[in-house]
Structure 1
Amino acid sequence: MVELLPILIPALVAGLLVVSTHVPLGYQVLRRGIIFIDLAIAQVAALGIVVAHQLHLMHSFHGVEYLLSVVFAMFAGLLLALLEKHLQKELEAIIGCFYVLAATAGLLVLAHDPHGGELLKQTLSGSILWATWDMLAWHGIVVVAVLALLWWKRSLLNGIWFYPIFAIAITSEVDLVGVYLVFASLIMVPLATNRLPSGAKRLVIAYGLSILAYAAGLLISAWWDLPSGATLVWCLAIVALAFALLAKRKVTAV
């Protein structure tokens, strides 16, 4: 296991970058009742990566696939922000439509690509174990910028600016860990801790549970040679469920 540390440590840092933004954003998603916005915007961002691949833009300059996926995700975020004003009651259904349209658009774009299946698998499941320090430095800048913005003016999460901020954070993390793990990181632990009193203590607990799940998932994935993305999703679910059951048992005992 020691020889795997050069792979596991960057992967764990990638996980820390993901949960640093996903925990506060996850509580906001739950408060707004738009649970599947993460899946929808993440899938739109993944579509940007697929389009960049098909246009062979990845070879033109470094990071072009990320920039195109940001454009796609920002467009989706701004459109949802506009729709929220006029179609509040139908917003969750519209978000679901965004997801299925982006997912099927990816299938259509890659229909004649012999390597399309592998690219789709990577955008969904991610490749966190292949994270490099160069990649982490770039994504770290994005994460720090998002966190600084939220710390400077947290009220931005309550208005329409939530959508573009969310889109920027999600795009960076889809590129790192894939659509499935982005969604699991956003929803599972915040859902398990959502009934705790809001404040610093709840954030600390949520961050702690998320880090525990990522550490356990990476070790299990490496030890048994399992797909890292799928393993991490299940570890997040198990840790979140275990905490929810323990918290409920404690309340019942009182």
Structure 2
Amino acid sequence: MFDVELLSILLPALVAGLLVLSTHVLLGQQVLKRGIIFIDLAIAQVAALGAIVSHIDHRVEELPFAHVWMPALFALAGAGVIAWMAKRLVGELEAFIGCFYVLSAVVAMLLLANDPHGAELLKQLMSGQILWVSWSQLALPAVVSAGILGVIIAKPRILDGAGFYFLFALVITLSVELVGVYLVFSTLILPALALNKYQGKTKLVWAYCVGIVGYIAGLLLSASYDLPSGAAIVATLALSALLFRMLLKLRSPASAHQPAK
């Protein structure tokens, strides 16, 4: 049985996970539909690069909310580059996005090579520290997530155009700050992949269920056995996605074998 102190840690972490899921499940399905799987890793890595630049330049670091707007500027610039490539590199886009990710990761490593706290910062950006998220950190992501969901509901076609890349950049920027690069990728891809072959009307509902089960199980596992929270949630998200995919296939074998639209 969990005590009050542990619950006070788990509840903000769970809310952070739900905020990330609220937008990532929708965007993840679009990523899979477009066949640009590496875009989330690439944009997340570019946003992390912005955070690193802010960290190593103390003049920037001391500016108000630099930890938010600097990664956002880098992510938006990265989204612009990918949107440009999407129009001119048809058939090779995924490969170029993969290269974009690798180059961003290498630049980050080079910038932190001589920083005494570089390894710790890099680990934090990659794996995240969701278990230590505070309520005050959730205010901005909640407002932005609500705004983006409102835009998508009002103008769903925005996901089919170039505007998708810029919405994606804003979402990823805040998510990396909360949960880290690895969990951002997993939250986008695993629920979408779990439901990729399912064509029922409740597809989106099931996708959210995959994510919610994965986050709750991962947080409980992390808290119970003192495991890294990001890694634990990635593992339970993967397991949740696999179980839901198998269960839905058994539940509706005919629709499960239909190709995704």
Taking structure 1 as the reference length, the TM-score comes to: 0.96
The corresponding residue for 1:109 is 111
The number of equivalent residue pairs is: 253
Check if 1:144 corresponds to 2:146: yes
Give the alignment of 1:119-130 within 5 angstroms: 119-130=121-132
Deviations 1:99-155 (A, max 9, x none): 101101100100110110000000000010111111101111111111111111110
Give the AA of the match of 2:206: I
Secondary structure class of the residue paired with 1:217: helix
Shift of 1:197: 2.0
Question: Which of residues 89, 94, 97 in structure 1 aligns to 2:96?
Answer: 94
- Tell me the residue number matched to 2:51: 49
Distance 1:198 1:22, change over 3 A: farther
Report the Cα offset of residue 8 of structure 1. Answer: 0.2
The answer to whether 1:205 aligns with 2:206 is: yes
Task: Point out where structure 2 has 5 or more consecutive residues left out of the alignment.
Answer: 256-261
* 2:194 corresponding residue in structure 1: 192
Amino acid in structure 2 at the alignment position of 1:32: R
Mapping of 1:212-223 within 5 angstroms? 212-223=213-224
Q: CA deviation at 1:253?
A: 9.4
In the alignment, the residues of structure 1 paired with residue 248 and residue 141 of structure 2 have an alpha-carbon distance, to the nearest angstrom, of 34
User: Structure 1 regions of 5+ residues with no counterpart?
Assistant: none
Give the deviation of 1:252 after TM superposition: 4.9
1:80 aligns with 2:82: yes
Render the CA deviation track for 1:7-30: whole Å, top value 9, x for unaligned: 000000000000000111011001
CA contact (8 A) 2:79 2:169 kept: yes
CA distance in 2 between partners of 1:57 and 1:146 (Å): 31
Instruction: Provide the C-alpha distance between the structure 2 equivalents of 1:40 and 1:154, rounded to a whole number of angstroms.
Output: 24
Q: Whole-Å Cα distance in 1 between the matches of residues 239 and 73 of structure 2? A: 35
Against the structure 1 CA distance between its residues 57 and 189, is the aligned structure 2 distance closer, same or farther, given a 3 Å change threshold?
A: farther
Distance 1:59 1:51, change over 3 A: closer
The amino acid that maps onto 1:29 is V
- Aligned amino acid, residue 216 of structure 2: A
Tell me the alpha carbon deviations over residues 157-188 of structure 1, each in whole angstroms, 9 at most, x when there is no partner: 00111111101111110010000000000000
Contact 1:57 1:64 in 2 (8 A): no
Query: Which residue pairs with 1:250 in the alignment?
Result: 251
Match of 1:156 in 2: 158
Q: TM-score, normalised by structure 2?
A: 0.93
Q: Matched residues in 1 for 2:200 and 2:29: separation?
A: 9
SS in 2 for 1:111: coil
Question: Which deviates further from its counterpart, 220-229 or 129-138?
Answer: 129-138
Q: Name the CA distance, whole Å, in 1 between partners of 2:91 and 2:76.
A: 22
Report the alpha carbon displacement of residue 198 of structure 1 after superposing the two structures with TM: 6.0
